[in-house]
Amino acid sequence: MIAGASEGTGASYAEQLAAMGINVVLVSRRKEALDQLGERLAGLYGIAFRSVVADLTQSGTGSRLVEETRDLDIGLFVSNAGADGAGNSFLGEPVDRALSLLTMNAANVVEAVHGFGNRLVKRRSGGIIVMSSGAGLGGQPWLTMYSATKAFELNFVESLWAELDGQGVDILGIAAPIMDTPTLRRATEGLGMDYSTAYDPANVCALALASLGKEPLVIVPDGPDEAQIPRIQADRKTRLLALAEWGKAYTAAANG
């Protein structure tokens, strides 16, 4: 299942998974776009698809996705929704706008990962990929809520990666770079942005699929910290592993 699949990064995930012969559930607000994508992939790769129309800015959508696919053996959940345009002042916008991002990038991610995660634990196999952003590695002015909710995703995935150890289920967070997607072009229209420096989403998706089961978090080099990214990623993993060992010992003592 790919949440946010109608174009850009989500469509790239769908293409690459379909090319592996994997059936896909495509989720977004635009049924026509989903159906067109699904029919094209079915024709190219002989896979089956299901379109699910859902608005991830609405409360309860994460749980609805879990319930609406009870008849399917979902082996991989990709959380890919959650873009926001640059240049938005937190105090200058209605609070409902901030709360919709909180719902999309936090509440519905929690609902979906909890629901699909429990199903995967029961089957003792499967994976979850959460597309976060490099904006979540630190505060980013004029992207306040986007940065904050993407930081939530990164910490959420890292923590759950340690908790899932030994249960046959992999989870991966991607601190994604700026990618040349239709969403980016709409959000930056008229700003004179140089899209040649943006990543191809297909390459980022391929990296994510290759890293699942190997890393808790992949930080794709981008922005002012680009040279430091490998060290930042390694340091975060070292810290996480140490905390995981401490947590296991504490839990054993508490239950002993």
Average pLDDT over residues 231-242: 95
One-character DSSP codes across 151-168: HHHHHHHHHHHHHTTTTT
Sign of the CA dihedral with 239 first, then 244, 247, and 253 last: negative
Q: Tell me, yes or no, whether 247 lies in a domain.
A: no
For the segment 1-30, what is each residue's pLDDT rounded down to a tens digit?
999 999 999 999 999 999 999 999 999 999
Q: Tell me, yes or no, whether 210 lies in a domain.
A: yes
Average pLDDT over residues 215-235: 92
pLDDT value at position 214?
96
Average pLDDT over residues 159-179: 96
* DSSP-assigned beta bridge partners for residue 175: 132, 219
Average pLDDT, the chain: 93
By percentage, how much of the chain surpasses pLDDT 70? 98
Q: Tell me, yes or no, whether 137 lies in a domain.
A: yes
pLDDT value at position 81?
83
**Better-scored residue on pLDDT, 223 or 140:** 140
pLDDT value at position 89?
87
For the segment 64-121, what is each residue's pLDDT rounded down to a tens digit?
999 999 999 999 999 998 777 666 789 999 999 999 999 999 999 999 999 999 999 9
By percentage, how much of the chain surpasses pLDDT 90? 82
Contact 33, 7 (CB under 8 A): yes
pLDDT value at position 57?
95
Structure tokens at 38: 């699904």
Contact 60, 109 (CB under 8 A): no
Q: Tell me, yes or no, whether 252 lies in a domain.
A: no
Parent domain of 115: 2-227
Q: Tell me, yes or no, whether 138 lies in a domain.
A: yes
Q: Tell me, yes or no, whether 236 lies in a domain.
A: no
Task: Tell me how far apart the terminal alpha carbons of the chain are, to the nearest angstrom.
Answer: 39
Question: Residue 64: which CATH number?
Answer: 3.40.50.720
Q: Tell me, yes or no, whether 203 lies in a domain.
A: yes
Give how many domains the chain has, as a whole number: 1
Q: Tell me, yes or no, whether 240 lies in a domain.
A: no
